[in-house]
Amino acid sequence: MLSLRRLLYSLSLQVRGGSGHRSVSTGWAPVGAAFNVKQQRRLDVFGKRTGLFGVPELSSPEGFQLVQDNALRNSESLVEKVCTAPPSAETVKLFDQLSDELCKVADLADFVKAAHPDSSFRDAAEEACRNIGTMVEKLNTNVELCQSLRELLQNKALMDSLDPETRRVAELFLFDFEISGIHLDREKVNGDFSITEDLCCT
């Protein structure tokens, strides 16, 4: 199965020049914005807590639960839209939004769990990483979600109407499903997923 890093990024778009990867646009301040030991107490000009990287919820370790739960709820909603809407260019956009929703939390949490000086923040970030990772793995083996993408890719008229980048993105999303064993025997895939989930949570 996938490595943990691949698991967390397996839904991210992979189009950036010749490198084959594209950074996910999250709408949050970049993780590269350095923080220090007093980051969680940093105040803006109005005296309000800004939270890690400008995310208000992350002014305390408990905020990771909030941003994680919000991302998971939004992801479930996006999955429902993908699975119920007819195949179109919108399908790829919804996959893009799904990628952003999960990776903006995973990317930030992955950095915080390794670099924050406060163990309570590190622990909360690690838990968020595990939960987001479990969600991504479930999505990677979601047959209905994959079928929505296949229907788009198998519709020549629709594919011809897409620009080359969008077509390539759709193909790469399908590749992510395939390397997760979406086309294999369900019993074997479910067994592999259980093993992966156990490894992620140890």
Domains of the chain: 4-16+35-200 (1.20.1050.40)
pLDDT in tens, 40-50: 344 444 445 67
Residue 72, both tokens: 């998971």
Q: For residue 123, count other CB atoms closer than 10 A to its CB.
A: 14
pLDDT in tens, 60-112: 999 999 999 999 999 999 999 999 999 999 999 999 999 999 999 999 999 99
Q: How many residues does the chain have?
A: 202
Give Cα separations from 167 to 147, 172, 187 (angstroms).
16, 9, 31
pTM (2 decimals)?
A: 0.70
Residue 11: band (very low, low, confident or very high) from pLDDT cuts 50, 70, 90: very low
pLDDT for res 40: 39
- Judged against a pLDDT cut of 70, whether residue 7 lies above it is answered with no
Q: Assess contact for 12 and 103: CB atoms under 8 A.
A: yes
Residue 184 CB partners (closer than 8 Å, separation 6+): none
Distance of CA 51 to the CA centre of its chain: 21
